[in-house]
Chain A
Amino acid sequence: MELNFLAAGIMVGLAALGAAIGNSMLFSKYVEGVARQPEVRGTLFGQTMILFGLIEALPIIGVGLGIMVFFDLL
């Protein structure tokens, strides 16, 4: 009974949940902002991409560690 597969599944699943919730809040605000003021599209896109990378940081760290646990490297 290998528990590392279960651990990897839980890690990646929770990471996906966190990333989905965070990213959806961010991008919905971006689309709303552009709908309200189409001329700030460029500036807002740059800021959105910075925040996308920061929000995805911890979920993707979870995915990276999950992959290593999956292959028994951790």
Chain B
Amino acid sequence: MELTPKVQFLGLTFDVTVMIGTLFSALVVFLLSLWATRRLQMRPHGWQNAMEMLVDFCRGITRMAFDDRTAERYLAMTITLFLFIFVANELGVMLMVVADVHHPIPWLGLTEEALKESHGVSWFKSPTADLNVTLAMAVAIALYGHYAGIRASLRNYVGHYMSPLLPIHLIEEFSKPLTHAMRLWANIFAGEILITVMLTMGSPLITGAPLLVWMGFSLFVGVIQAYIFTVLANVYISQKVTAH
């Protein structure tokens, strides 16, 4: 397994690989959106056309969970989620940076014994291949669902919990964010581990063709998992917001 450099700051551990990956994905999303919305025209061409198709696609996603009027409020969140997760998933398939570090760098957490046990230091990978990133997103969506539900109607929010199914609802409050996060994480993590194994172990003559097939499948899975994460985010929020 690759080692990742970690930085300690105010008692918290920050994983440098995850930070670089997240920042780079956010930068790519930002530049894509900026490029697609320059010099808007009434008859779209090229990038503007693709961005309009994406916005329509995300509008369809929000309309799966909400009625047409409240769906417009959650459109921005949906587009952001979908674009970020899509770019984060695909960047890890295309680009992974693993370096061999010969001298230990203690302030990055790369100590002697850690370097001896590992197969290299990973500097760039998918941010969504780290469980912390997906858990943060899933917990944030769950908390936002509670906030939106309380804001929409406090009576309905409290009344939802006064039902004989209370233990099941309480368990659901934990299991829904957990499976939400782990579904995305495990898909991307498993794909990436298999790519690494196919690249480093075994001769390229044998693993060449399966590697291409697996990279294609990983790209496909990245799109599907981004879509499912976004759809489920909308569904979980709408379960708290719309009155029963």
Q: Which A positions have Cβ atoms within 8 angstroms of B?
A: 49-50, 52-54, 56-58, 60-61, 63-65, 67, 71, 73
Q: Which residues of B contact A61 (CB under 8 A)?
A: 179, 182-183, 186
Evaluate contact between B189 and A53: CB separation under 8 angstroms.
Answer: no
Number of B interface residues in the complex (CB < 8 A): 15
Evaluate contact between A50 and B228: CB separation under 8 angstroms.
Answer: yes
Q: Which B positions have Cβ atoms within 8 angstroms of A?
A: 1, 179, 182-183, 185-187, 189-190, 193, 224-225, 227-228, 231
Evaluate contact between B224 and A52: CB separation under 8 angstroms.
Answer: yes
| Closest chain B residue, CB of each to CB of A52 | B224
Q: Which residues of A contact B189 (CB under 8 A)?
A: 64, 67
A-B contact pairs, 23 of them (CB 8 A): A50-B231, A52-B224, A53-B183, A53-B228, A54-B228, A57-B179, A57-B182, A57-B183, A58-B179, A60-B186, A60-B190, A61-B179, A61-B183, A63-B186, A63-B190, A64-B185, A64-B186, A64-B190, A65-B186, A67-B189, A67-B190, A67-B193, A73-B1
- The answer for the CA separation of A61 and B228 in the assembled complex, in Å, is 15
Q: Which residues of B contact A50 (CB under 8 A)?
A: 227-228, 231
Which has the most chain B C-beta neighbours within 10 Å: A52, A57, A71, A73? Answer: A57
Least CB distance, B87 to chain A, in whole angstroms: 18
Evaluate contact between A49 and B227: CB separation under 8 angstroms.
Answer: yes
**3 tightest CB-CB pairs across the interface, nearest first?**
A64-B186, A53-B228, A57-B183
- The answer for the CA separation of A71 and B189 in the assembled complex, in Å, is 13
Evaluate contact between A60 and B224: CB separation under 8 angstroms.
Answer: no
